[in-house]
Structure 1
Amino acid sequence: MASITDQLSEGYRAAKKAVSSAPPSDAYLRWDAPGIEEIKSTEEQTTREIADIMKKMQKHNFDQHRHAFRATHVKTQGIVKGKLTVNYDLPIHLRQGIFAEAGRVYDVAARFANEPVFLQPDQSPGPRGLSLKVFGVNGELLEGPSEANTAQDFFFNNAPMIELTDIDTCLDIMKLREKHFDDPVTLKAKTALRTDALKQTAPGMLPNTNIISMNFYTQSAFRFGGYYGHMGLFPADDKMSKKASEKVQSAQSREVLSEWLKEYFTERGAKYEFKIQLGTDPAHHPTEDASVVWDEATAPYQTLGFLEFPPQDPLSPARRVFWEDQMSLSPWRGLSAHKPLGSINRLRKVVYQQSQKNRDELNANSSRDVNSVDAIP
């Protein structure tokens, strides 16, 4: 019998769904329907400005460390290899893109990282990210036919929304972050003066706990075959979820998050449910405002498959250096069936390319497409 808490929670969800004006949760809208994407005439210029600012921040990091990092998600916490298995009993409407073939198994590799643009001790709260590369995908590619590209890249964050909201807000915030790159106190004070201060400071309020316990979200919207949606990864092992009780303390090592990941993967593997929310109305499930958390009452999560990582060393020197200096990833690398949507994602197409170019130039290096999990140490 369900507990009183479970009954109340179910009642709350039912009531919330009843008062919502969104279409029924199974009236999925096409990804190219009117109102899904709205491109402003100033977007191209704004994109160039942001790319230039991000380049400056990469240079700030280089000046401090004499090594160039990515424009965001600078600090690697762990890198793991595993498998993605598509559900065998997947409903027809969910058989899209890489999930088109029920029961299909893919090789995958993932990187856990701190999101901020600078290296920081793990005592500093903030968003944590997970980038995922799925190997051996089949289908029409976003960037045209290429035998060299057989991978699908996804990017997740432990916050379900992006405080940057859209490309115009992103420009304002990036200007602040670059101007006060070496002065976090002033940056915090300037951010607090904004009309959207609560939204901008929300990432710093995320629980600073063991990364293995976290849910991860794409935050922004993506095409999903004929539809569009948000995707997420959710721990499917109680041992992972229980690690949420491990909170970073000031007296611990500044590298405690990677130490916890190493300890966890030395003893056991990890398993995530790969899920999606499908949109039914751009007013309730927008692509252009990435700060909106899609209501699960009107866009419930549906399971697509399972992501599994066996026990392994998640941060060997060879693996870390290979990923940081050799691996090239982009949300625009993959299938047309998973096309990124919204201004934040359109911005990423330029910024990720620029970030890779800057990193390679400063490090006198050449990163590349990696199309086999066996290429990763």
Structure 2
Amino acid sequence: MAEALKETMSSAWTGVKRGLSSAPPNDAYLAWNAPGVETIKSDEEEKTQQIKDVMERMQKRNFDLHRHAFRATHVKTQGIVKGKLQVHSDLPEHLRQGIFAEPGKTYDVAARYANEPYLLQRDQEPGPRGLGLKVFDVTGPRLEGVDESVNTQDFLFNNAPSIELTDVDTTLEIMSLREKYFDDPAALGRHLKLRSDMIKQHAPYMLPDTNIISHAMYTQSAFRFGQYYGHMALFPVLETQKAADDKVKNDDPSCVLSDWLFDYFAGKEAKYEFKVSNDVSVSHRQCTHRNQIQLGTDPAHHPTEDGSVVWDEATSPYQSLGTITFPAQDSFGQERRVFWEDRMSLDAWRGLAAHRPLGGINRLRKGVYPHSKKTRDRINVSKSEDVRSVDEIP
């Protein structure tokens, strides 16, 4: 009864906000290449190169500490799982885009859970957690410059709906601070408090430090969605995921998050709803991972260039695309972990044209991700690959 009352009140409040908003109607979806959706600054390429240089130096700092080169961010693996993505069989016409073009289709997928920061921190350190997803046997026109034989689509998620790095300018400032105070996180925190966007920069460290299996995951940045553009997200569905919200304690092991994921997947499956904005009838507190998306109607309300803006669900509600299921399995097998960390490559710019990354943060990734991969491969004397089948992963 209490839960039903909460949902009724939430729906009523959403209706009020929608009525007061100046945004276009929720179903007046804007074309992905409409004027104003993207605005590229003249110095973006130069600043991207500076960020690549900063992040490469931080990768080398991590090597000096651990004698192994990691990714520039999302350094600490917490779990790696294989599963299936099932596109909804009753998907409406406007959502039949990209990998979701064929209702009822099933894909193999693999995902890596990780801590977002650039350091191998103890799990007692609060901060963003991420999920990198690779979808296999994907067909359709690729983005420019991508080998047509590559048959995968990558999606990158974090457990906050916005990204504090905001844009290329802010990213350069924050990454430079992270490098300067690489060995002194406390000093980094003090300098972040001096910034005019201090609240935004500290927001990720206010996220709940709980079992990752219970977290919703968001793309944070915008992507083309066929004719339109939007944000995507994964929302847990199963009650067993919802209940697994233990908070990390000081006396827990420093690897407790991977331990919890291992214990969970040892005997239970996980499900997520994959969404694009536009169906608020599903509570985010439910648990299966369902695929969902937010579709933009106006750059003023649903921007791509400021990644720190959370799109209001009153004007861009989530719509359900499909369900991801990860069966019970060994989520921390060492062979699988080493394979992913040293040989796997995820990059949303090597996917379908229908899911083109949009906005400054994503244009930055176009340069940073390949550079991070090359740095890691060079230092580790390894070779990251375009893994073409889920069966290649141990």
* TM-score band w.r.t. shorter chain: over 0.9
Distance in 2, Cα, partners of 1:128 & 1:143: 30
Distance in 2, Cα, partners of 1:102 & 1:184: 48
Residue equivalent to 1:136: 137
1:363 aligns with one of 371, 377, 380: 380
Listed as ranges, the matches of 1:31-110 within 5 Å are 31-110=32-111
After TM superposition, give the deviation of residue 144 of structure 1 in Å: 4.1
**Contact 1:112 1:128 survives alignment (8 Å):** yes
Is 1:285 the counterpart of 2:302 in the alignment?
yes
Structure 2 unmatched ranges of 5 or more: 275-291
After superposing on structure 2, the runs of 4+ consecutive aligned residues of structure 1 that deviate more than 3 Å are: 1-4
Structure 1 unmatched ranges of 5 or more: none
Q: CA RMSD in A?
A: 1.0
**Contact 1:156 1:217 survives alignment (8 Å):** yes
When the two structures are superposed, what TM-score results if normalisation uses the length of structure 1? 0.98
Residue equivalent to 2:171: 170
Q: SS of 1:267's equivalent?
A: coil
After TM superposition, give the deviation of residue 278 of structure 1 in Å: 0.2
After TM superposition, give the deviation of residue 146 of structure 1 in Å: 2.5
- Residues 10-37 of structure 1 show CA distances to partners (whole Å, capped at 9, x for unaligned) of 2111111110110011000000000000
**Contact 1:43 1:167 survives alignment (8 Å):** yes
Residue equivalent to 2:189: 188
Distance in 2, Cα, partners of 1:168 & 1:145: 28
Listed as ranges, the matches of 1:192-231 within 5 Å are 192-231=193-232
**Which deviates more, 146-155 or 247-256?**
146-155
Distance in 2, Cα, partners of 1:129 & 1:4: 32
Query: What code does the residue aligned with 1:324 have?
Result: E
After TM superposition, give the deviation of residue 148 of structure 1 in Å: 3.7
Q: SS of 1:61's equivalent?
A: helix
Q: SS of 1:332's equivalent?
A: helix
Residue equivalent to 1:318: 335
After TM superposition, give the deviation of residue 239 of structure 1 in Å: 1.1
Query: What code does the residue aligned with 2:109 have?
Result: V
Residue equivalent to 1:265: 265
Identity over aligned pairs, percent: 64
Q: SS of 2:26's equivalent?
A: coil
Distance in 2, Cα, partners of 1:101 & 1:205: 39
Q: SS of 1:303's equivalent?
A: strand
Distance in 1, Cα, partners of 2:332 & 2:149: 27
Distance in 2, Cα, partners of 1:54 & 1:331: 19
Query: What code does the residue aligned with 2:40 have?
Result: I
Query: What code does the residue aligned with 2:393 have?
Result: I
- Residues 318-337 of structure 1 show CA distances to partners (whole Å, capped at 9, x for unaligned) of 00000000001111111000
After TM superposition, give the deviation of residue 147 of structure 1 in Å: 4.7
After TM superposition, give the deviation of residue 181 of structure 1 in Å: 0.4
Q: SS of 1:38's equivalent?
A: coil
Residue equivalent to 2:391: 374
Distance in 2, Cα, partners of 1:17 & 1:312: 43
**Contact 1:148 1:371 survives alignment (8 Å):** no
Query: What code does the residue aligned with 1:327 have?
Result: M
Residue equivalent to 1:306: 323
**Contact 1:148 1:369 survives alignment (8 Å):** no
Q: SS of 2:70's equivalent?
A: coil
Is 1:334 the counterpart of 2:351 in the alignment?
yes
**Contact 1:87 1:304 survives alignment (8 Å):** yes
Distance in 2, Cα, partners of 1:296 & 1:226: 20
After TM superposition, give the deviation of residue 204 of structure 1 in Å: 0.2
- Residues 227-278 of structure 1 show CA distances to partners (whole Å, capped at 9, x for unaligned) of 000000000111101112x000000110100000000000111000000000
Q: SS of 1:110's equivalent?
A: strand
Distance in 2, Cα, partners of 1:258 & 1:236: 20
Distance in 2, Cα, partners of 1:86 & 1:357: 34
Query: What code does the residue aligned with 2:336 have?
Result: R
Is 1:27 the counterpart of 2:28 in the alignment?
yes
Distance in 2, Cα, partners of 1:104 & 1:234: 20
When the two structures are superposed, what TM-score results if normalisation uses the length of structure 2? 0.94
Distance in 2, Cα, partners of 1:190 & 1:4: 44
After TM superposition, give the deviation of residue 145 of structure 1 in Å: 5.8
User: Aligned pair count?
Assistant: 376
Query: What code does the residue aligned with 1:202 have?
Result: A
**Which deviates more, 89-98 or 10-19?**
10-19
